[in-house]
Structure 1
Amino acid sequence: LDFSIDELAGNVATGADTLSIALCKVSAPTKEPWLTLSYDEWICVLKGRVLVHHAEGTLEAKAGETIFVSKGERFRPEFPDAGTEYLPVCLPAFRPDRCIREDESDATVGQQVNDMHAKLQVAEVLYHMCSKEDWEKSKADNAAYFPPMFDKDGFTHATSVPSLLLTVANNFYQS
């Protein structure tokens, strides 16, 4: 392959869907098809250069530079130089279903990405620690449960990984 991906953090590497970071290496000039992402991506170039074609033209990032691609933007990355290395940082984490690829005849990168994520299981359950009394009241009222800190924090402290529930709770619920 002319292209390698080593995920350092994310669904494949850590099982976390919050963000993904990968080290990508280009051994021969190549390009991807047009892409539309369901996440924000920062393309941080370490070596070589990356061209990003988009609706208004083409951006070039050289070593030490970063290109930001916002969620929903259609673009086409191109890697004109062998030896190019870059770090894509995706928020939330990369998953194949979050990346619409307009694949052409040479879809080896897309297949490699799909193979990496083939065994990925997307969580359908979210765990949140709460008092039994608060939970029972929400059930009795037939109302959604919101933790006492929700109004102050604006979000619920939760996880889809049961083994991390105490870690999440200990991080946020300290007096």
Structure 2
Amino acid sequence: MKKYKIQNSPFVVPTEDGKIIKEHFGNASDGNSQISIAHMVAPAGWSEPFQTPEFDEYTFIIKGKKQFIIDDEIIILEAGQSIKVEKNTRLQYSNPFTEPCEYLAICLPAFSIDSVNREDK
């Protein structure tokens, strides 16, 4: 039995907002509820509603910029920067800039639509 798994076909999460989400490991891709690792591209002008996730989320920016509103504080990360947002923190993610933002998101425990607690728009 192999002690590793190479992910060649991540689960592509269907979206309606132009965001590309490829989950390499997690609930949707391999049933792992402990951690999720996703490669994402948020198009220029993209935003999500505020949310209060029940998981810690780590974000590493590969290209472009991403805006976070955390407890009414606006934080902008650029390529090469990363952030950890603790669970049960109200926040909003967006890309109000003119270029797409490519990033990695790691959630502990794994992301699930039931535990992200998105607010109505």
TM class by shorter chain equals 0.7 to 0.9
How does 1:22-37 map onto structure 2 within 5 Å?
22-37=38-53
Paired residue type of 1:5: I
The RMSD of aligned alpha carbons is 1.2
Consecutive unaligned residues in structure 1, runs of 5 or more: 105-175
Structure with the larger helix share: 1
Residue of structure 2 equivalent to 1:99 = 116
2:114 counterpart SS class: helix
Residue of structure 1 equivalent to 2:12 = none
Consecutive unaligned residues in structure 2, runs of 5 or more: 1-16
Distance 1:60 1:35 in 2: 18
Distance 1:31 1:11 in 2: 23
Distance 2:72 2:93 in 1: 14
Distance 1:36 1:27 in 2: 22
2:52 counterpart SS class: strand
Distance 1:91 1:16 in 2: 11
TM-score by length of 2: 0.80
Residue of structure 2 equivalent to 1:64 = 80
Contact kept, 8 Å, 1:2 with 1:28, in 2: the verdict is no
Residue of structure 1 equivalent to 2:3 = none
The alignment covers a number of residue pairs equal to: 104
- Superposed CA deviations along residues 115-139 of structure 1, whole A, max 9, x for unmatched, are xxxxxxxxxxxxxxxxxxxxxxxxx
Matched, 1:19 2:24: no
Matched, 1:41 2:57: yes
Contact kept, 8 Å, 1:2 with 1:29, in 2: the verdict is no
Distance 2:81 2:104 in 1: 11
Q: Please state how far the C-alpha of 1:56 moved relative to its aligned partner.
A: 4.6
Runs of 4+ in 1 over 3 A off after TM superposition: none
Structure with the larger strand share: 2
Higher relative contact order (CA 8 A, sep 6+): 2
Matched, 1:10 2:26: yes
Residue of structure 1 equivalent to 2:94 = 78
Distance 1:20 1:80 in 2: 25
Distance 1:92 1:80 in 2: 28
- Superposed CA deviations along residues 42-95 of structure 1, whole A, max 9, x for unmatched, are 111111011110215111110011111101000011112332111110000001
Contact kept, 8 Å, 2:43 with 2:95, in 1: the verdict is no
Give % identity.
Answer: 34
Distance 1:103 1:23 in 2: 25
1:101 counterpart SS class: coil
